Amino acid sequence: MKVLIIIPAYNEAGSIIDVIDNIDIFYPTADKLVINDSSTDNTKEVLKQKGVNFLDLPVNLGIGGGVQAGYLYAYENDFDIAVQMDGDGQHCAEELSKIIIPIENGTANVVIGSRFIDKKGFQSSAMRRIGINFLSGLVRICTGIRVRDVTSGFRAVDRKFIEIFSKDYAQDYPEPEAIVTVAKAKGKLVEVPVVMKERKTGKSSISITKSAYYMIKVALAILIQKIAG
Amino acid sequence: MSTSLRLVTIFFALLYFVVLVILLKNGRLALKYSLLWIFSGVLFWIAVAFPDLLVFVTSFIGIEVPTNGLFAISILFVILILMSLTVIVSEINIRIKTLVQKISLMEKRIRELEDILGTERKNIVK
């Protein structure tokens, strides 16, 4: 099966090549597509020099808009499986097969790599875990699906959801909302334990000041998706 | 309503329509986005032409001073127009997002074609 690994990158010049190299080592059969979301550093030059497959967004769209461009590419180029993986190195290429296998053997439409099942590796801060647990509870109430790591951006989807996400994907902070989309489309979702690392370079896209906005926006989005039925 | 107040309101109601027509004529305002503005302008005219109607409507709703009724109606329309603006901005946002995504996909294809063509392209440019 044709596998595409979508790697959204905003100012990740310091880490993106390591991410690509690790994929080449641990999952060499996959195609890679970096989404350069109008980085202001030299991410684009680094990608060009290395000869990596990349999309160059002319204006910054945010993670959701960027990843959706990747899904569009996967859809247009007939990929069977699309994987999302961060460009900052916090998701490990060693774990790729874990989230791809359930889709290859048809046991899931969508697989989410979760930090909180085996509770190994980087566990995020206590404050963030409270927020994640709250959103996880909200998703469970609204969809009946239990996902522990609702904000995880390490996920794999099959052809059906490549098509769905290429048409409908939230522009900012899309991860929890996408789970509701999966539930509405009656997709089979599986969460598998993975180990994540703390990011090495760059900054998280979610600062403390943005956290409140994040919680309110995502909670509302989940509720509205639920009401819109 | 005093005569001077009526004259002033008629003046502003006229000015409002003159500005609206100029903007529409120049193409600076798209007709499809101006319908709410035109509609609220018409209501404004009716209120100016028939002040008794305004008095009747406001007292019917239970507002004692007609001016307050006018304020309430104006604020209602301002809110409606603001909401429609947000709807328009959201639509434009989605369109821009889709355009940016499509452009990036096409840019990638062009880049790849140029790589394949390589020297030939340079010859064409010459």
Position A171 pLDDT exceeds 90: no
| Chain B residues in contact with A61 (beta carbon < 8 A) | 97, 100-101
Comparing CA positions, the residue from A168, A217, A158 lying closest to residue B98 is A168
Confidence class for position B121, pLDDT limits 50, 70, 90: low
Which candidate from A55, A76, A171 shows the least CB-CB separation from B104? Answer: A55
User: For A183-197, what is the mean pLDDT?
Assistant: 93
Q: Which two tokens stand for residue A43?
A: 């991410």
- List, for residues A42-97, the tens digit of each pLDDT value: 999 999 999 999 999 999 999 999 999 999 999 999 999 999 999 988 999 999 99
- pLDDT bin (cut points 50, 70, 90) of residue A204 is low
Token digits of residue B63: 């507002």
pLDDT band, very low/low/confident/very high, at A197 (cuts 50, 70, 90): confident
DSSP string, chain A: --EEEEEEESS-TTTHHHHHHHHHHH-TTSEEEEEE-S-SSSHHHHHHHHT--EEE-SS--HHHHHHHHHHHHHHHTT-SEEEE--TTS-B-GGGHHHHHHHHHTTS-SEEEEESTTT--B----HHHHHHHHHHHHHHHHHHS---S-TT---EEEEHHHHHHHHH---SSS-HHHHHHHHHHTT--EEEEE--B----SS--S--HHHHHHHHHHHHHHHHHHHHH-
Dist CA A169 CA A70 (whole Å): 11
> What's the confidence (pLDDT) of residue B119?
60
- Read off the tokens for A139: 């998703």
Tally of CA atoms within 13 A in the half-sphere of B24 that contains its CB: 13
The Cα A154–Cα A143 span in angstroms is 20
Asked whether residue A179 carries a pLDDT value surpassing 80, the answer given is yes
Q: CA angle, B124 as apex, B118 and B126 as ends, to 5°? A: 110
Quote the mean pLDDT of chain A. Answer: 91
> B64 forms bridges with which residues in the sheet?
none
Structure-block tokens of residue A206:
């979610």
Distance of alpha carbon A92 from alpha carbon B5, whole angstroms: 74
pLDDT for residue A202 is more than 60: no
Q: Give the ipTM.
A: 0.88
Instruction: Give the range among A38-42, A60-64, B120-124 with minimum mean pLDDT.
Output: B120-124
Chain A CB contacts of B101 under 8 Å are 57, 61, 65, 68-69, 72
Averaged over A97-119, what is the pLDDT? Answer: 94
**pLDDT at residue number B70:** 80
Q: Which residue has the tokens 């039925």?
A: A229
The pLDDT value recorded for residue B125 is 56
Q: Which residues of A touch B108 (CB under 8 A)?
A: 53-56, 73
Q: pTM for this structure?
A: 0.85
Mutate to test the interface with B, among A34, A57, A172 (most CBs of B within 10 A): A57
Contact status, residue A115 vs residue A43, Cβ threshold 8 Å: no
CA distance B125 to A161: 43
* A75/A14 Cα distance (integer angstroms): 29
Interface test with A, best of B94, B99, B101, B116 (most A CBs within 10 A): B101
* DSSP classification of residue B62: T
Distances (CA, A) of A106 to A1, A100, A168, A185, A188: 12, 10, 23, 16, 10
Q: Which chain B residues are Cβ-neighbours of A69 within 8 angstroms?
A: 100-101, 104-105
CA distances from A104 to A145, A152, B11, B102 (A): 22, 21, 73, 29
**What is d(CA A69, CA B31) in angstroms, rounded to the nearest whole number?**
33
- CA–CA gap between residue A225 and residue A50 (Å, rounded): 41
For A145, the token pair is: 């699906």
Q: Is the pLDDT of residue B79 over 70?
A: yes
Cα–Cα distance measured from residue B6 to residue B18, given in angstroms and rounded to the nearest whole number: 18
Q: Which two tokens stand for residue A155?
A: 């996920």
pLDDT at residue A211, as a whole number: 81
Please write the tens of the pLDDT for every residue from B33-72.
888 888 888 888 888 888 888 888 888 888 888 778 888 8
